Structure 1
Amino acid sequence: MADTETLDRDTWQAALDRMTEEHAGELVTIEILDPEIGHQYEAERLPFSYLSYDPRDEVVVVAVGGATARYPVVLRHMVQRPREIDVATHDIPEPAIRVVDGDGGATLITFYAAG
């Protein structure tokens, strides 16, 4: 990701909570970038629900749906044992977060304005 900031592990929980507040009401795409299985979309421009980090279980969770009758079910994508979180939020059309897991795979979370 160009022009990114790698977050300090101590700030992950607060930073992801802040991203949840800042991107409420937006749409999100979740892409899985895995060296073994390749590039796959898990969700494309679905209503964003939340993004969180649980330090006790060492997991990042991004959730979509659950807020409207059109998307009543919440889909949760979990990244186990994250080792790096990068954010690109300034001077780009769509803010994005990349979470690298313990095995070297990455999840790319991209935000889009709704409507």
Structure 2
Amino acid sequence: MAETPLLDRSRWTTTLDELTEAHAGELVSIEVLDPEIGHQYEAERLPFSYLSYDPKDDVVIVAVGGQSSQHPVVLRHMVQHPKEIDVATADIPEAAVQVLDQGGTATLISFFPFASGAKA
């Protein structure tokens, strides 16, 4: 990810809620970068639903789909016991969030705004 400071844990819930609001209606890709099995896509350019942190269960959840007849099912990807969250929104074409778990696996969430205001 771009050189950005890591997000302080006390701001995870608020920041992810703000990102959910800011990126409503965009497409999102979810990539898992596992040091043992390599790079895997969980979702590629699907409608973004939400991104949240649940401090009670210590889990980051990113959800896609569930907002149209074309994508009626919600897919949720969860990162249990995240160690750090890095948010890059400035000076890059697409905003991105990287969540690192305790085992060193990174989940990369990339947002893709619609060109010219078109919706999927």
TM-score with structure 2 length normalisation?
0.94
1:72 CA drift (Å): 0.2
**1:63-74 pair list within 5 angstroms:** 63-74=63-74
Aligned to 1:3: 3
CA RMSD of aligned residues (A): 0.7
1:100 matched residue in structure 2: 100
Q: For 1:74-93, list aligned pairs within 5 A.
A: 74-93=74-93
Give the deviation of 1:5 after TM superposition: 2.8
| 1:62 counterpart residue number | 62
Alpha-carbon distance, 1:79 to partner: 0.2
1:57-93 Cα deviation digits (max 9, x unpaired): 0000000000010000000000000010001100110
Give distance in 2, aligned partners of 1:93 and 1:85. Answer: 20
**For residues 112 and 89 of structure 2, what CA distance do their matches in structure 1 show?**
12
Q: Which residue of 1 aligns with 2:43?
A: 43
What is the one-letter code of the residue matched to 1:30?
I
The alignment-based identity, stated in percent, is 69
Shift, 1:4, TM fit: 1.9
**Alpha-carbon separation, structure 1, partners of 2:48 and 2:61:** 12
Gap runs ≥5 in structure 2: none
**Is the partner of 1:6 in helix, strand or coil?**
coil
Question: 1:25 — aligned with what?
Answer: 25
Is there any run of 5+ residues in structure 1 with no aligned partner, and where?
Answer: none
TM (norm. structure 1) is 0.98
